[in-house]
Amino acid sequence: MDGPQDLGGKEDFGPIDVASPDFRHDWERRQWALSKLCPVPGITIDWFRHGLENMPPAVYLSVPYFKKWNANEMALGLDAGVYSLSELVSGHAKDPADPAPVQSVDALEDRQRALARSFAVEADTQPLFRVGDRVTTAARPTEGHSRLPAYARAATGTVTHHHGAHLFADAGARGEHIGHHLYTVEFAAPDLWTGADPRDTVRIDLWEPCLDRA
């Protein structure tokens, strides 16, 4: 999809606030923790990202980062039937449950470790490309979720790494677990941007369905 999240190369965002901290407000910390501790059951990382991409574009571009996460958690929870809109608006459960047990910092440290997750899967096909091959990316946006940035559409680059097969993000956003060969592709900056510095390159991780032999 052509969503507001696809920011690479977009102009006029102004200077970078290079001295900014990790968080400015306590609510940001709490939203971060809520998102990590209470993910909506059955979601995939790709559906989470696709949720953010489906925010109203003007909202996506104008609110602070963790307000986006908060809106996304709310929308994902509504979508999955975790709670109703009236429960969200009131901040209270219609039928309260027994309180959740408190988890200690030590227990959470173990839980954080358990977030480690491999996206590698057995490949059931031979890779189409090898390191050194020249490849061209898809020219048009696909429907739904995609991890091919718009700035790199219809661009030709060189495969620098083959990572075996990884779960394909486009399918993950549909709740499907399908693997495709994953590659790192290097693009010369002038092949992506007018007037770019020829000394510079951009490397992007792309799955096989996004690529054709150049």
Partner 1 sequence: MPTFDSKKIAHAHREVHAHLPSDPALRVKALESLLVEKGLVASETIDNWIELYSERIGPMRGARLVARSWTDPAFRDRLLSDAGQVVKDYGYQGHATEHLKAVENTPGVHNLVVCTLCSCYPFSILGMSPIWYRSAAYRARAVKEPRVVLHEFGVTLPEDVGVRVWDSTAELRYLVIPERPKGTEGWDEDHLAAIVTRDSMIGTQRDLSVEPA
Q: Which of residues 98-127 bind partner 1 (CB under 8 A)?
A: 98-105, 108-109, 112-120
Nearer to partner 1 (CB atom), residue 114 or residue 139 = 114
* Cβ atoms 214, 155 nearer than 8 A: no
Q: How many CB atoms lie within 10 A of CB 75?
A: 16
Q: Does 92 bind partner 1 (CB under 8 A)?
A: yes
Q: Does 204 bind partner 1 (CB under 8 A)?
A: yes
Q: How far is the CB of 117 from partner 1 (least distance, A)?
A: 6
Q: How many CB atoms lie within 10 A of CB 195?
A: 6
Nearer to partner 1 (CB atom), residue 131 or residue 205 = 205
Q: Does 178 bind partner 1 (CB under 8 A)?
A: no
Q: Which of 127, 149, 157, 179 touches partner 1 by CB under 8 A? A: 149
- Scanning the structure block, which residue is given the tokens 């499907």? 176
Q: Of the candidates 65, 68, 168, which has an alpha carbon nearest to the alpha carbon of residue 76? A: 68
> Which two structure tokens, joined as six digits, stand for 66?
């963790």
Integer Cα distance of 198 and 184 in angstroms: 20
Q: How far is the CB of 214 from partner 1 (least distance, A)?
A: 19
Q: How far is the CB of 181 from partner 1 (least distance, A)?
A: 11
Q: Does 154 bind partner 1 (CB under 8 A)?
A: no
* Cβ atoms 48, 68 nearer than 8 A: no
Q: Does 184 bind partner 1 (CB under 8 A)?
A: yes
Write out the binding residues for partner 1, residues 14-73 only, by CB under 8 A.
Answer: 14-18, 20-34, 36-38, 40-43, 45, 47, 49-52, 54-56, 59, 61, 63-67, 70-73
Nearer to partner 1 (CB atom), residue 186 or residue 212 = 186
Integer Cα distance of 84 and 80 in angstroms: 10
Q: How far is the CB of 57 from partner 1 (least distance, A)?
A: 10
Q: Could you give the 3-state DSSP secondary structure of residue 187? A: strand
